[in-house]
Amino acid sequence: MVNVLLASLIDGLLIGFVYGIAAMGLSLIFGVMDVVNLAHGPIIALGMFGVYLLFSLLGLNPFIALILVAVMGLLFGLVMYMTAVHRVIDAPPLSSLLATFAVNMMIIGIGTSLFTTSSYNVEYSLGTVTAGPINVTGTRLAASLIALLVTAALYWFLYYTRTGKYIRAVANNRSSAELMGIPSTRILALSFGIGTMLAAIAGGLIATIFPINILAGGSYELKSFVIVVMGGLGNPLGALIGGLILGLMEGVVPVFMKTTWVPVLEFMLFIIILLVRPQGILGAKE
């Protein structure tokens, strides 16, 4: 029993890191410009298919392909910001929700016609790592290490580089930041790009662990909402904590009850946190 529990704990924790960076993208975008990106799920799916295509057509190592996917995620975000989001950034929340949802529909529409909704697999294995009673698949371990690395890089970028400080300044108070000579439009576009880049990376990592399909991003988007609310909307580092909590829940709960109860508990927790502590466990952005 203890062994089973320990194994599911580790499994959950590892996947939690990946959930964390998916949610971080959503959280960063909300934190900087108060936009809930409803195209988040499809962008995660694009990341999945990016890795899949580079791996199966060009034979690229999935973890090398991930770098390309990250760059494409960044570019996609920049283009999406300039075409779909910039005009509605100061409009009521409904406009930006719908604008990003329109992008969601376009991606899903084109994606379904290209790939249908059937499942694909990235046939890549790194073997298993065994430590005492615990077996962990290599790809899962690698994915969580990369997720951790990305988180550290984001933290360094936001707190120790000039551009990162610009982003935080714009998030804090856009008009003051503009008065200080910060090019806010460019910074907003960049933040949006980083947000979608994180989503694409998360998708790419998930593709190495689980089978993928074009609609699969949707469930990770919902998970990201739960995580983001747990960690505090607009607090990217809180998202990591939220991701770990969610991963743990998904690992441990099935030991005690049927797997299908996991989403019930997740969304109950989500609503309860929204009601009693809407600023999240670590607090939202000020």
What residue has token string 């994606």? 111
Structure tokens at 115: 């790939």
Q: Is 109 in the site for another protein (CB under 8 A)?
A: yes
Q: Is 227 in the site for another protein (CB under 8 A)?
A: no
Q: Is 2 in the site for another protein (CB under 8 A)?
A: no
What residue has token string 């283009």? 79
The smaller minimum CB distance to another protein, of residues 27 and 208, is found at 27
Q: Is 255 in the site for another protein (CB under 8 A)?
A: no
Touching another protein, residues 19-38 (CB under 8 A)? 30, 34, 36
Q: Is 258 in the site for another protein (CB under 8 A)?
A: yes
Q: Is 135 in the site for another protein (CB under 8 A)?
A: no
Q: Which residues contact 184 (CB under 8 A, 6 or more apart)?
A: 170, 174, 177, 178
The smaller minimum CB distance to another protein, of residues 29 and 48, is found at 29
Q: Is 274 in the site for another protein (CB under 8 A)?
A: yes
The smaller minimum CB distance to another protein, of residues 101 and 155, is found at 101
- The half-sphere exposure of 68 on its side-chain side, counting CA atoms within 13 A, is 16
Q: Which residues contact 259 (CB under 8 A, 6 or more apart)?
A: 253
Which member of 28, 99, 214, 241 binds another protein (CB under 8 A)? 99
Query: Phi, psi (5° rounding) for residue 240?
Result: -65, -45
C-alpha–C-alpha distance, residues 43 and 184, integer Å: 24
Q: Is 199 in the site for another protein (CB under 8 A)?
A: no
The stretch among 10-18, 46-54, 180-188, 222-230 that binds another protein (CB under 8 A) is 222-230
Q: Is 93 in the site for another protein (CB under 8 A)?
A: yes
Task: Give the CA-trace dihedral at 75, 42, 218, 39, to 10 degrees.
Answer: 70
Residues 139/124, Cβ–Cβ less than 8 Å: yes
The smaller minimum CB distance to another protein, of residues 99 and 237, is found at 99
C-alpha–C-alpha distance, residues 213 and 48, integer Å: 8
Kindly state the smallest distance separating residue 176's Cβ from another protein, in Å: 22
The smaller minimum CB distance to another protein, of residues 143 and 233, is found at 233
The smaller minimum CB distance to another protein, of residues 166 and 225, is found at 225
The stretch among 48-56, 96-104, 120-128, 191-199 that binds another protein (CB under 8 A) is 96-104
170-176 own/partner pairs: CB under 8 Å, 24+ apart: 170/32, 171/31, 171/32, 171/33, 171/234, 171/285, 172/285, 172/286
Signed CA dihedral, 76, 69, 10, 253: sign only? positive
Q: Is 145 in the site for another protein (CB under 8 A)?
A: no
Q: Is 95 in the site for another protein (CB under 8 A)?
A: yes
Which member of 79, 88, 136, 182 binds another protein (CB under 8 A)? 88
In this structure, the strands spanning 134-137 and 128-131 are antiparallel
Binding site for another protein (CB under 8 A): 30, 34, 36, 84, 87-88, 91-95, 97-99, 101-110, 112-113, 222, 225-226, 229, 233, 258, 260-261, 263-264, 266-268, 270-271, 274-275, 278
